Chain A
Amino acid sequence: MENIYLPKIAVIKDIFEETYDTKTFRLSLKNKEEQSKFSFKSGQFLEVGVIGVGEAPIGLSSNPNEKDYFEITVRRVGSVTNALHKLSPGDEMSVRGPYGNGFPLNEVKGKNILIVAGGIGLPPLRSLFEPMFDIRNEFKDILILYGARTPADLVYKDKLKKWENMKDLRMLLSVDVGDKSWKGNVGVVTTLFPKTKIHIENTVSFVCGPPIMIKFVILELLKMGFSEENIISTLERYMKCGVGKCGHCAIGHKYICVDGPVFSYKQIKSFPEKE
């Protein structure tokens, strides 16, 4: 039987600094054969860490169709993520996974897609919309609304320009507090809603970001007429094993690491505990 607690070794191929406290790590499994067999679904996560310090659950943020590497975007908050930030290209880290249920990419084919992201909520959503571009005509309209606190807090700055200019993609940015060079929208991400056409019929929306932001965005979406099954979000809890055994991430009778982290708003409402 496979040992689910035994991590694999991943080598850091490259590191990109996104903001003052966030880095993207481009990883590849040290064992080439394991890397060739490695695959994941959008929205799944890995338990990454430094052996000797611990592990933390981080969502995969690269396109699952990319076979040579996979990426994670890590914000520095605690002892594990601090240890990760001290690593350099060529260093090793431990990974276990991929775990979680992932986004329902195939089930939303043929629909309009609305993606609302806040701050560090964009990386897991990137693993959702980048593969959509690979099969672009299987989806109808795709709209991405992304907000952060300040222009410096936006992640994937190098890719945002590319996405803003893509022909069959609508992308709007917003910041809570602008700076001298910011020319875009200023305000929380919900202030973008009245500024553009949002399809409601035959549309599925994906929302990721800080809990407060998710709460307000979902309220707006419900007001606009979205049904509860068509609002999809992610839940976060403290995790240890990632495989539904240790009990830390349990909510109601579901485990966030096995039955989630992706849930529809209808499911989230049914849980006995609210965040």
Chain B
Amino acid sequence: MEIGQKLVIKKDKLNSWVERLMKIGDVVAPVKENDEFFFKPIRDIKKYTMNHDIPYIPPKDLIFPQSENIFEYTRNNKGLQIKPLFEGKKQIVLGIRSCDVEAAAYVDHFFRDTFEDPYYFNKRKNTIFISLGCNHAFENCFCICCDAGPFDPKGYDLQMIDLGDQYLMEIGSREGAEVISKDQELFSLSKDEDIKKSEEIKKNARDTFKEPIAYMSYAIRHITTDKVPKETWDELGERCVDCGGCSFVCPLCTCFTVEDIAINQNSGKRCRCWDSCNYSGFTREVSGHNPREDKGERFKRRFFHKLSYQYIEKYLRHQCVGCGRCITACPAMVDMPRVVKRLRD
């Protein structure tokens, strides 16, 4: 098995493969509950599906959870003892969409920059992504405007493409090759017509997107050169309600805060949880001075981080993959595509 090799597996064999994967670790796949999709470890093989929308909770949550404990501490007569808490079961994420895989590649790069984050990588090294390309766009998608899909994202271990009665499986990494090599008999080598069909599907998928809804390059140019008038940022910032939702649902946002929770005088833990630069308390110093008190400034800052060339240089891509979650999460309708459109007007 080599990187780049393409195999096929018949759809009715998929469950057998999943059952074998469940012996290696948790197979985290989409399940439908309460009319929406969640990525959860499969407990009942009949309960997962490959016909799913983008799950509302971004998969960054599987590696960088909404809140996690960093360490526990106790004070006793021997002094202070600190015990770091690492959790990391092997997990195979099945059916993750291309935009989310592309986002995960960015988040990996971010947490490796300058200092490596041990908690993130402890989970990441135990995680394998088997992505499922999108044959058609979903309601809020605009990944084609962001260079992030609907196929061939950066960093997949295996990529599945739905060919109708079977899946085309492309190997993208050594870990992906390893996973397949144990179950080779369920797969067969792909034929020319399979590859041709997948090419056609890729082409047709692009046509299912609505009118391009975000012109990123214009926004990037103007934000980088600081040419957007302050009025515009004030108008957008005025609508923003500081809920933080956009940062939490975005698969590329990584800001967090750290708090100590003292359970009693002598023991407790330190934990970190997601944070959002939209909050006014994000930069407020202990003295009460806040360099970003003005909402227009905070709003401008968030989009500078997302779309400026200075950041693209650092992380090799701009920080939006067009998943469309912020469109659902924003109460004031100042999500990414609307802001980009507004900057253009």
Chain A positions near chain B (C-beta within 8 angstroms): 1-7, 9, 30, 51-56, 77-78, 81, 92, 94, 236-238, 240-241, 243-248, 250, 252-253, 258, 272-273, 275
Contacts and interface: CB of A to CB of B under 8 A. Distances in A.
Contacts of B284: 238
Given A51-B270, A273-B301, A246 B287 contact: no
Nearest to B301: A273
Contacts of A52: 73, 260, 262, 268
B257 A9 contact: no
B135 interface: no
B272 to A, nearest CB: 8
Contact of B119 (A5, A78, A247, A253): A5
Interface string B180-209: 000000000000000000000000000000
- Taking chain A's interface residues, is the majority helix, strand, or loop, or is none over half, making it mixed? loop
A245 B112 CA distance: 10
7 contacts: A1-B121, A4-B118, A6-B71, A9-B79, A51-B268, A53-B260, A248-B283
B115 A245 contact: yes
B308 A245 contact: no
Contact of A5 (B71, B80, B297, B310): B71
B286 interface: yes
B218 interface: no
A238 B118 contact: no
B113 to A, nearest CB: 7
B231 interface: no
Contact of B287 (A2, A77, A250): A77
Nearest to A80: B286
A243 B80 contact: no
- Taking chain B's interface residues, is the majority helix, strand, or loop, or is none over half, making it mixed? mixed
A245 to B, nearest CB: 6
B70 A5 contact: yes
A73 to B, nearest CB: 16
Given A247-B277, A252-B310, A272-B226, A51 B82 contact: yes
B273 to A, nearest CB: 11
A275 B110 CA distance: 26
A240 B272 CA distance: 10
B282 interface: yes
B111 A245 contact: yes
A248 B277 CA distance: 8
Interface string B277-315: 100001111110001100001000100110010110010
Contacts of A258: 114-115
B117 interface: yes
Contact of A1 (B118, B258, B283, B292): B118
A246 B292 contact: no
A-B pairs, 8 with minimum CB distance: A247-B255, A78-B286, A253-B310, A52-B262, A243-B115, A3-B118, A238-B285, A77-B286
Contact of A273 (B286, B287, B297): B297
A253 B312 CA distance: 10
A241 B258 contact: yes
B1 to A, nearest CB: 29
A55 B259 CA distance: 9
A247 B310 contact: no
Nearest to B281: A238
Interface string B46-86: 00000000000000000000000011010000011010100
A247 B254 contact: yes
Given A5-B71, A5-B119, A7-B82, A247 B259 contact: no
B314 A253 contact: yes
